[in-house]
Amino acid sequence: MKWKDYPQNIKVRLITSFFNRAVTSAVMPFMALFFAQEMSKVWAGSFLIITVFIGFFVNLIGGYISDRFPRKKVLVLTSSLSAVMFLLMALSLLPDDKWIGLFAAAYVIFIVTSSLGRPAMHAIIIDSTTPENRKAIYAIDYWMINLSMAIGAALGGLLYLNHQIELFVLLTATSASLPIAYQIWLKDERVQSLKKQHNNVLIDLLQNYKVAFQDRPFVKVVIGSMFIFSAEFSLNSYIGVRLAESFETFTIADFDVAGVRMLSLLNIQNMLLVVCLTFVVNKFTDRFSKQHVLLTGLLLYSVGYITITSANSWYVLILFNFIGTIGELVYSPVRNAEMANMIPEDKRGSYSAFSNFSFSGADLLARSTIIIGAFLIPTMMSVYIGVLLMIGTLMVYTGLFVRKSGKEGTARPEIV
């Protein structure tokens, strides 16, 4: 599928998300460091944990709003407010004695506004695609996510320490351009909107999500995805901590590679593979059935992450990180496209918001591996990760492709 053949909304979504993610990726990973330096580690940790929970619950409200109201208006409003919050953050850094209270308040409001708008943005990609072209579009979306994050990480590394104000001014300018782009080029093409069922808005919202919770195949895919993602997320939690503590330093041309640098190498390798091989892998897998592609990808992914969970040799880590990343490239577009096909047309925002539980839950599971790893030896942690991946694979596969038998009821026809 060529770029000129993409629907206009998809082009707008891909381009705006690319620039927005590139700049936010330069700032957001440093929030813990920023608040820890300005306040304290305990304050920073507590504050950021609270914002995670705020973001999750506001995201659910955003899903309901994006199904009830025009998505274009939701995006223009929320992205405008996010730009104002970044402006306030930039202004709070100008005085020598930084206005941390203003910065923290603006950061919380930014979490609220971005979480309100995110489901609408996710729903637009489903609105503007068909089951036939979704796999290809999710592949390029996945590629651009990784490329923008790589650029953002490089920007942050170069500018954060000595050019914080300039970085936030750049973020403000980029964010301010988004609502303008949405207003000019985005089309609200949705045919069917969610109708209000109850006068009480809270009851109406809960009733809306009750439908998603009762959609057992979709819930299985969401929970299964949570288990699968937790393996990858553990790279920067348990695996990172283990490498920092027990990895034996080796030298390449007078350059010492210790545990933390080994972790950085694995992350860089992952991003480079995604940027270079996404379309090659996607084109190759098009000739096989979706079921076989999903299972093969998850098998490679599982073998890779089970091994690097306990491996301590640099060449083993590099080899199996390669295998795990290839597996991710194989299964990810199929999972995303088939999951989108399950969503009812009038609840795309709500279902998209609910599906974010996969990421929130995976993040919590990955953080818990640090605690569990304090009591288990690395090989047992590999077994633990293997069990999570096996359960996740079973749930995702049966949720996506085994929907016509047993208690699951009659399979829903695919959304076109």
How does residue 407 score in pLDDT terms, banded at 50, 70 and 90? very low
Q: Measured between alpha carbons, how far is 299 from 394 in angstroms, rounded to an integer?
A: 11
Query: How is residue 174 written in tokens?
Result: 């980029």
State the chain's mean pLDDT as an integer.
85
Predicted local distance difference test score (pLDDT) of residue 197: 61
Predicted local distance difference test score (pLDDT) of residue 325: 95
Write the pLDDT tens digit of every residue in 70-93: 888 999 999 999 999 999 999 999
Predicted local distance difference test score (pLDDT) of residue 345: 79
How many other C-beta atoms lie within 10 A of the C-beta of residue 286?
12
How does residue 190 score in pLDDT terms, banded at 50, 70 and 90? low
Q: Between 191 and 375, whose confidence is greater?
A: 375
What contacts 271, CB < 8 A, 6 or more positions away? Answer: 146, 147, 149, 150
Mean pLDDT comparison of 17-31, 68-82, 182-196, 245-259, highest-scoring range: 68-82
Ranges of H-type helices in 342-402: 348-355, 357-373, 378-401
pTM metric for this prediction:
0.78
For the chain, report the end-to-end CA distance as a whole number of angstroms: 18
CA 90 centroid distance within chain: 26
Query: How is residue 414 written in tokens?
Result: 């695919």
Cα angle 397, 416, 2 (rounded to 5 degrees) comes to 90
Tell me the three state secondary structure of residue 297. helix
Q: Measured between alpha carbons, how far is 255 from 405 in angstroms, rounded to an integer?
A: 58
Stretch 58-77: mean pLDDT: 88
Q: Which residue has the tokens 């096989």?
A: 288
Q: Does residue 280 carry a pLDDT above 80?
A: yes
Q: Which of 69-78, 165-174, 183-192 has the lowest mean pLDDT?
A: 183-192
Stretch 201-216: mean pLDDT: 78
Question: Which stretch of DSSP H or E encloses residue 58?
Answer: helix 41-68
Predicted local distance difference test score (pLDDT) of residue 327: 96
Q: Between 33 and 61, whose confidence is greater?
A: 61
